[in-house]
Amino acid sequence: RCAELQIQLTEAVSTMAGQKELIAKLEHDLSTIQTLSTVHRPDAEGAAVPSLEKIPEPIKEATALFYGHPPSPGTSIPEGQVDSLLSIISSQRERFRARNQELEGENRMMQHTVHALQSELDNLRADNIKLYEKIKFLQSYPGRGGSRDDTEQRYSSQYEERLDPFSSFSRKERQRKYLSLSPWDKATLSM
């Protein structure tokens, strides 16, 4: 029984030493990958990099193995390390994809909320102008006092603008021109 435990202990110690070496290699590869962010990128993503010397070796070799090209002579990565590097990169991609979808959902919800609030604001402005019109009508009767407060003054300009035939005509013309634009021009204009 003691001999079996001794054998298991030696196997566990050797496995632990091997795992420590793999962890050290992985940490070194990850630090090498992190230095990639300091590499000057070309103007467009995906454009050819003029000097491949700045790209870390693990990425070059993993990319070559991924596309089925043999690794460069003199350097060889064990299959397990390539798989671990690819699994790290793919899990990071999946995390970014999930976060991106989450942010896009939040963005759609915010845009929906903004549109709803904007339409509510427009409705409230129209209601206020109608109320001002009623106040103006009631004040037109003889014997009514003409005291005006800030609220009336604020909406009087909008009321007068609504009655102005020139501004009404220009609004209609703007709407007609907007409807005659192509979808690309409308998208550019809205941006």
pLDDT tens digit string along 173-186? 888 888 888 888 88
Burial zone of 56 (CB within 10 Å; 0-12 exposed, 13-18 middle, 19+ buried): middle
129, 133, 136, 141 alpha-carbon torsion, rounded to 10°:
-160
pLDDT per residue as tens digits for the range 135-161: 888 878 776 555 566 777 777 777 777
Question: What are the residues whose beta carbons fall under 8 Å from the beta carbon of 158, sequence distance 6 or more?
Answer: 125, 128, 129, 132
Determine the Cα–Cα distance for residues 121 and 13; give it in Å rounded to an integer: 71
Q: What is the pLDDT of residue 118?
A: 93
What's the pLDDT score for residue 144?
A: 57
Output the pTM of the full model. 0.36
Place of tokens 């790290």: 88
Query: Is residue 67 within 8 Å of 82, Cβ to Cβ?
Result: no
Write out 97-128 in H/E/C secondary structure: HHHHHHHHHHHHHHHHHHHHHHHHHHHHHHHH
Q: Of 15-29, 37-51, 114-128, which range is least confident? A: 37-51
Given this model, what pLDDT does residue 30 score? 77
- φ, ψ dihedrals at 67, nearest 5°: -90, 5
Calculated CA dihedral for residues 107, 113, 114, 118, nearest 10 degrees: 160
pLDDT band at 77 (very low <50, low <70, confident <90, very high): low
